[in-house]
């Protein structure tokens, strides 16, 4: 698939069918993640590819109440939005409900882990939230999402389960020193899947020489 | 360009020519960043595209001593590496020296900024370094790098300048509430540019159901 076509049609696909993913397709998607750049080429991340039915159901049991809380907060925002925007958001919240209620039935959930001892977190000492560690993991996550899109697999980057990290670590036997940073359900779409996306125009996202 | 070809040949290209980048090429590369997913589709990031010669030189003046310190620490590690790996690392450190000494002459440096007030940082309360904010910026950074690669532009994701964030914010008039998380020099390669990459095999980067 063409690079720009993949990027410009990669949307959050939250309604996924339980149908299995062929091994060769899944392997190409996972392999794409390994190509991503990382600080010092140390590749300080690891994917746990969750396929076991009981473990997926346990992830759903953790995810559903987190989603319901998030969704609740969002309702307040909807009231303040222009109607066309609110309508779009309502649709994506409904799709989020579907994901939360069916997470255990998607064929694969990829849990990205990271090890900060192999990261140079250059913004650790700044007096504000640090995010630079993410520079050695989320490029790999984006590669995985783009590869999934090119293979016709629905997917969405979720992070709500980070709030339940101790339980997730226990469930997936994630060792000490490793932590979680993304949970990506993969599966063939129920509906049309990927397609047009809604983003701000470039002119609003950049400036020249000064912010 | 084909998606998998772009991903699998995206390498850190640190020797860049000062030749200008045509406007249409640069615009496609910057635009690719805007397509990336972000939490709640809030797009909490902004690019400052630095083209002014004096500002680029100021960034070089900040970067060079940081690089020299980083490089110094690295020398210690080289002594402990197997010789073939050490040889590779030495080559990339030399390319890093070149970048640090010529950063002011690359045609464009893209400085990614982010606003944490528009991010749901779901790992903020975990007792370990937080990185989840990066999930709403580094997918955009990876899109930009892949687009640069497909346009034949050299590029590399750097974060060392985050250690000088106050000076960078002052130089680029970055407003309160916004912070920096990536500095990406863009330019046509001096040498062969992108090509083969060296990564761990997939089997070492994943496991099934349990870490």
Helix (H, G, I), strand (E, B) or coil at A211: coil
Q: Choose, out of A3, A36, A41, A124, the residue to mutate when testing the contact with B (most B CBs < 10 Å).
A: A3
Picking from A106, A133, A134, the residue whose alpha carbon sits closest to that of residue A121 is: A133
Strand ranges (E), chain B: 45-50, 108-114, 154-155, 179-187, 206-208
Show the tokens assigned to B158: 């750097």
Find, among B210, B135, B129, the residue nearest to A169 by Cα. Answer: B210
Q: Best of B51, B129, B204 to disrupt the A interface by mutation (most A CBs within 10 Å)?
A: B129
pLDDT band at A74 (very low <50, low <70, confident <90, very high): confident
Q: What are the chain A neighbours of B51 within 8 Å (beta carbons)?
A: 208-209
Cβ contact A106:B144 at 8 Å: no
Domains and CATH numbers, chain A: 3-52+105-192 (3.40.109.10)
CA B60/CA A55 separation, integer angstroms: 50
Q: What is the pTM of this model?
A: 0.97
The answer to whether the beta carbons of residues B129 and A124 sit under 8 Å apart is yes
Q: Check CB contact under 8 Å for B3 and A147.
A: yes
- Would you list the DSSP string of A94-114? HHHHHHHHHGGGSSEEEEEEE
Q: How far is CA A140 from the centre of its chain?
A: 11
b/e burial code for range B70-94 (CB count within 10 A of at least 16 → b)? beeeeeeeeeeeeeeeeeebeebbe
Residues sharing a CB contact under 8 Å with residue A140, sequence separation 6 or more, in sequence order? A33, A34, A36, A38, A45, A112
**DSSP annotation string for A145-184:** HHHHHHTT-EE--B-GGGGGHHHHHHHTTPPTT-EEEEEE
* Separation in Å, CA A90 to CA A75, A94, A206, B35: 9, 6, 29, 21
Q: A89 pLDDT exceeds 90?
A: no
Q: Measure A68 CA to nearest chain B CA, in Å.
A: 15
Of A32, A121, A172, nearest to B4 by CB-CB distance is A32
- Beta strands B206-208 and A45-50 are parallel
CA B157 to chain centre: 1
Q: How far is CA B108 from CA A8, B12, B66, in A?
A: 24, 16, 20
What is the residue-wise DSSP string for B132-188?
GGGGGTHHHHHHHHHHHHHTT-EE--B-GGGGGHHHHHHHTTPPTT-EEEEEEEEE-
Distances (CA, A) of B9 to B85, B89, B106: 19, 18, 21
Whether residue A200 and residue B43 make contact (CB cut-off 8 A), yes or no, is yes
Q: Chain A partners of B165 at a C-beta cutoff of 8 Å?
A: 123, 126
Window B:162-201, CB contacts with A under 8 Å: 162-163, 165, 172-175, 178-182, 197-201
At residue B64, the pLDDT reads 98
- pLDDT > 90? residue A24: yes
B-contacting residues in A 143-162 (Cβ below 8 Å): 143, 145-147, 150, 156-157, 159-162
Answer yes or no: is pLDDT of A134 > 90: yes
Partnered with residue B204 across adjacent β-strands are none
pLDDT of A60 higher than 90: yes
Q: Predicted ipTM?
A: 0.97
Confidence at residue A85, expressed as pLDDT on a 0 to 100 scale: 83
A25-59 pLDDT, tens digit per residue, is 999 999 999 999 999 999 999 999 999 999 999 99
Closest in A43, A46, A133 to B211, CB measured:
A46
pLDDT given at position A132: 98
Per the structure block, which two tokens stand in for A48? Answer: 């746990």
Contact across the interface for A31 and B174, Cβ inside 8 Å: no
pLDDT at A76 over 90: no
Tell me if B82 sits within 8 A of B37, measured CB to CB.
no
pLDDT in tens, A157-211: 999 999 999 999 999 999 999 999 999 999 999 999 999 999 999 999 999 999 9
Does residue B142 sit at the A interface (CB-CB below 8 Å)? yes
Tell me, yes or no, if B41 comes closer than 8 A to chain A by beta carbon: yes
Q: What is the pLDDT of residue B5?
A: 98
CA angle B130–A149–B182, rounded 5-degree value: 35
Give the pLDDT of residue B128.
Answer: 97
- Mean pLDDT per block of 10 residues along chain B (211 residues) reads 98 98 98 97 98 98 96 82 86 95 98 97 96 98 98 98 98 98 98 94 98 98
Using pLDDT thresholds of 50, 70 and 90, give the confidence band for residue A77: confident
Give yes or no for residue A88 having a pLDDT over 90.
Answer: no
Chain A's closest residue to B175, CA to CA, is A211
Is A6 an interface residue toward B (CB < 8 Å)?
yes
Q: In whole angstroms, what is the distance from residue A132 CA to residue B15 CA?
A: 24
Instruction: Share the mean pLDDT of chain A.
Output: 96
| Residues in a beta bridge with B58 | none
C-beta atoms of B39 and A6 within 8 A: no
């Amino acid at each position: 698939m063409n690079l720009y076509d993949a990027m410009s049609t990669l949307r959050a696909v939250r309604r996924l069918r339980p149908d299995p993913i062929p091994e060769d397709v899944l392997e190409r998607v996972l392999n794409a993640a390994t190509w991503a750049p990382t600080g010092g080429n140390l590749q300080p991340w690891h994917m746990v590819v969750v396929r076991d039915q009981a473990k997926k159901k346990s992830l759903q049991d953790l995810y559903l109440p987190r989603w319901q809380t998030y969704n609740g907060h969002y309702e307040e925002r909807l009231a303040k939005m222009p109607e066309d925007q609110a309508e779009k958001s309502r649709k994506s919240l409904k799709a989020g409900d579907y994901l939360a209620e069916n997470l255990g039935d998607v064929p694969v959930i990829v849990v990205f882990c990271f090890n900060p001892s192999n990261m140079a977190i250059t913004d650790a000492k700044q007096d504000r939230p640090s995010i630079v560690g993410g520079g050695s993991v989320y490029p790999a996550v984006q590669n995985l999402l783009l590869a999934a899109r090119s293979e016709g697999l629905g997917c969405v980057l979720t992070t709500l389960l980070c709030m339940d990290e101790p339980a997730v670590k226990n469930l997936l036997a994630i060792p000490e020193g490793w932590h979680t940073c993304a949970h990506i359900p993969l599966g063939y779409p129920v509906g049309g899947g990927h397609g047009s996306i809604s983003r701000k125009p470039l002119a609003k996202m950049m400036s020249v020489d000064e912010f």
